[in-house]
Structure 1
Amino acid sequence: MKEKFTRWDAVDHLHSETEQTAYLNACLEDDPGDGSLVRAALGDIARARGMSSVARATGISREGLYRALSSDGNPEFATVMRVMRALGVNLRAA
Protein backbone atom coordinates (compact mmCIF):
# COMPACT_ATOMS: atom_id res chain seq x y z
CA MET A 1 0.00 0.00 0.00
CA LYS A 2 1.36 3.38 -1.02
CA GLU A 3 1.14 6.24 1.42
CA LYS A 4 -0.04 9.55 0.11
CA PHE A 5 1.51 12.68 1.51
CA THR A 6 0.48 16.27 1.06
CA ARG A 7 2.67 19.31 1.48
CA TRP A 8 2.20 21.00 4.87
CA ASP A 9 1.40 24.69 4.59
CA ALA A 10 1.28 26.99 7.63
CA VAL A 11 -1.41 29.06 5.91
CA ASP A 12 -3.86 26.20 6.40
CA HIS A 13 -3.56 26.77 10.17
CA LEU A 14 -3.52 30.57 10.36
CA HIS A 15 -7.25 31.31 10.45
CA SER A 16 -7.36 33.92 13.18
CA GLU A 17 -5.32 36.92 14.22
CA THR A 18 -4.53 35.10 17.49
CA GLU A 19 -3.07 32.13 15.61
CA GLN A 20 -1.10 34.45 13.33
CA THR A 21 0.29 36.39 16.29
CA ALA A 22 1.34 33.20 18.10
CA TYR A 23 3.00 31.91 14.93
CA LEU A 24 4.93 35.13 14.36
CA ASN A 25 6.02 35.27 18.02
CA ALA A 26 7.28 31.68 17.84
CA CYS A 27 9.22 32.48 14.68
CA LEU A 28 10.71 35.61 16.28
CA GLU A 29 11.95 33.49 19.19
CA ASP A 30 13.37 30.73 16.98
CA ASP A 31 14.83 32.79 14.11
CA PRO A 32 18.47 31.80 13.46
CA GLY A 33 19.52 35.45 13.30
CA ASP A 34 19.30 36.02 9.57
CA GLY A 35 15.62 36.90 9.49
CA SER A 36 14.68 33.96 7.25
CA LEU A 37 12.13 32.49 9.64
CA VAL A 38 10.49 35.84 10.35
CA ARG A 39 10.42 36.67 6.63
CA ALA A 40 8.75 33.34 5.90
CA ALA A 41 6.23 33.88 8.72
CA LEU A 42 5.31 37.32 7.38
CA GLY A 43 4.84 35.74 3.95
CA ASP A 44 2.63 33.00 5.40
CA ILE A 45 0.50 35.52 7.30
CA ALA A 46 0.21 37.72 4.21
CA ARG A 47 -0.94 34.71 2.19
CA ALA A 48 -3.44 33.79 4.92
CA ARG A 49 -4.92 37.30 4.84
CA GLY A 50 -4.78 37.58 1.06
CA MET A 51 -1.60 38.60 -0.73
CA SER A 52 -3.47 40.89 -3.13
CA SER A 53 -4.94 42.98 -0.32
CA VAL A 54 -1.58 43.15 1.46
CA ALA A 55 0.04 44.21 -1.80
CA ARG A 56 -2.49 47.02 -2.23
CA ALA A 57 -1.92 48.17 1.36
CA THR A 58 1.86 48.24 0.92
CA GLY A 59 1.95 49.66 -2.59
CA ILE A 60 4.15 46.76 -3.67
CA SER A 61 3.12 44.41 -6.45
CA ARG A 62 1.78 41.02 -5.45
CA GLU A 63 4.58 39.32 -7.38
CA GLY A 64 7.14 41.58 -5.68
CA LEU A 65 5.81 40.59 -2.26
CA TYR A 66 5.91 36.89 -3.09
CA ARG A 67 9.50 37.33 -4.26
CA ALA A 68 10.58 39.44 -1.26
CA LEU A 69 8.97 37.13 1.32
CA SER A 70 10.05 33.86 -0.31
CA SER A 71 12.59 31.54 1.31
CA ASP A 72 15.37 32.97 -0.86
CA GLY A 73 14.09 36.55 -0.82
CA ASN A 74 16.11 39.39 0.63
CA PRO A 75 13.72 42.30 1.20
CA GLU A 76 14.87 45.72 2.28
CA PHE A 77 14.00 46.63 5.84
CA ALA A 78 11.59 49.27 4.51
CA THR A 79 9.69 46.51 2.69
CA VAL A 80 9.47 44.42 5.85
CA MET A 81 8.17 47.45 7.77
CA ARG A 82 5.54 48.16 5.07
CA VAL A 83 4.35 44.56 5.21
CA MET A 84 4.22 44.61 9.00
CA ARG A 85 2.23 47.86 8.96
CA ALA A 86 -0.20 46.42 6.40
CA LEU A 87 -0.66 43.34 8.61
CA GLY A 88 -1.15 45.43 11.72
CA VAL A 89 2.01 44.03 13.32
CA ASN A 90 3.93 46.31 15.68
CA LEU A 91 7.65 46.02 16.29
CA ARG A 92 8.68 47.03 19.81
CA ALA A 93 11.93 46.94 21.75
CA ALA A 94 11.94 45.35 25.18
Structure 2
Amino acid sequence: MPGTVTAVLTAISGQPVQNCARRSAVLALDLGVDSLALLEVVEALQERLRIVVPDEVTARLRTVADLQDAAVHLAAAARLDATGKAPSSP
Protein backbone atom coordinates (compact mmCIF):
# COMPACT_ATOMS: atom_id res chain seq x y z
CA MET A 1 0.00 0.00 0.00
CA PRO A 2 2.75 2.55 0.76
CA GLY A 3 4.17 1.77 -2.68
CA THR A 4 0.89 2.72 -4.32
CA VAL A 5 0.76 5.98 -2.37
CA THR A 6 4.36 6.74 -3.35
CA ALA A 7 3.66 6.00 -7.02
CA VAL A 8 0.62 8.27 -7.07
CA LEU A 9 2.42 11.08 -5.25
CA THR A 10 5.39 10.79 -7.62
CA ALA A 11 3.18 10.94 -10.70
CA ILE A 12 1.12 13.89 -9.52
CA SER A 13 3.76 15.97 -7.72
CA GLY A 14 6.62 15.32 -10.14
CA GLN A 15 8.93 14.87 -7.14
CA PRO A 16 11.51 12.05 -6.94
CA VAL A 17 10.38 8.72 -5.53
CA GLN A 18 12.63 9.04 -2.47
CA ASN A 19 10.94 12.32 -1.52
CA CYS A 20 7.45 10.87 -1.97
CA ALA A 21 8.30 7.78 0.06
CA ARG A 22 9.54 9.76 3.09
CA ARG A 23 6.80 9.40 5.70
CA SER A 24 7.72 12.67 7.39
CA ALA A 25 7.42 14.67 4.16
CA VAL A 26 4.82 17.42 4.41
CA LEU A 27 2.60 17.23 1.33
CA ALA A 28 2.36 20.99 0.73
CA LEU A 29 5.78 22.16 1.88
CA ASP A 30 8.06 19.28 0.86
CA LEU A 31 6.23 17.91 -2.17
CA GLY A 32 4.36 20.96 -3.47
CA VAL A 33 1.02 19.18 -3.24
CA ASP A 34 -1.55 21.97 -3.03
CA SER A 35 -5.26 21.43 -2.36
CA LEU A 36 -6.07 20.69 -6.01
CA ALA A 37 -3.19 18.23 -6.34
CA LEU A 38 -4.29 16.57 -3.09
CA LEU A 39 -7.73 16.00 -4.59
CA GLU A 40 -6.04 14.42 -7.62
CA VAL A 41 -3.99 12.17 -5.33
CA VAL A 42 -7.08 11.12 -3.37
CA GLU A 43 -9.05 10.45 -6.55
CA ALA A 44 -6.23 8.33 -7.99
CA LEU A 45 -5.95 6.33 -4.76
CA GLN A 46 -9.71 5.79 -4.66
CA GLU A 47 -9.57 4.36 -8.18
CA ARG A 48 -6.47 2.21 -7.67
CA LEU A 49 -7.36 0.87 -4.24
CA ARG A 50 -11.14 0.83 -4.67
CA ILE A 51 -11.66 2.84 -1.52
CA VAL A 52 -13.71 5.88 -0.57
CA VAL A 53 -11.86 8.67 1.17
CA PRO A 54 -14.32 10.84 3.11
CA ASP A 55 -13.88 14.61 2.84
CA GLU A 56 -13.13 14.86 6.55
CA VAL A 57 -10.21 12.43 6.11
CA THR A 58 -8.89 14.37 3.11
CA ALA A 59 -9.02 17.58 5.16
CA ARG A 60 -6.70 16.04 7.79
CA LEU A 61 -4.00 14.83 5.38
CA ARG A 62 -0.80 16.77 5.99
CA THR A 63 2.08 14.29 5.56
CA VAL A 64 2.96 11.23 3.52
CA ALA A 65 2.45 9.20 6.70
CA ASP A 66 -1.08 10.57 7.07
CA LEU A 67 -1.85 9.58 3.49
CA GLN A 68 -0.31 6.10 3.79
CA ASP A 69 -2.03 5.39 7.10
CA ALA A 70 -5.41 6.56 5.79
CA ALA A 71 -5.04 4.41 2.67
CA VAL A 72 -4.16 1.32 4.72
CA HIS A 73 -7.03 1.91 7.15
CA LEU A 74 -9.62 2.59 4.44
CA ALA A 75 -8.50 -0.38 2.32
CA ALA A 76 -8.79 -2.68 5.34
CA ALA A 77 -12.25 -1.30 6.10
CA ALA A 78 -13.29 -1.80 2.47
CA ARG A 79 -12.15 -5.44 2.59
CA LEU A 80 -14.05 -5.91 5.83
CA ASP A 81 -17.21 -4.44 4.32
CA ALA A 82 -16.86 -6.58 1.18
CA THR A 83 -16.33 -9.88 2.97
CA GLY A 84 -18.00 -9.37 6.32
CA LYS A 85 -14.83 -10.72 7.92
CA ALA A 86 -11.73 -9.07 9.31
CA PRO A 87 -8.98 -8.65 6.71
CA SER A 88 -6.22 -11.24 6.84
CA SER A 89 -2.63 -10.20 7.42
CA PRO A 90 -0.50 -9.79 4.29
Give TM-score scaled by structure 1 length.
0.34
Higher alpha-carbon Rg: 1
Give TM-score scaled by structure 2 length.
0.34
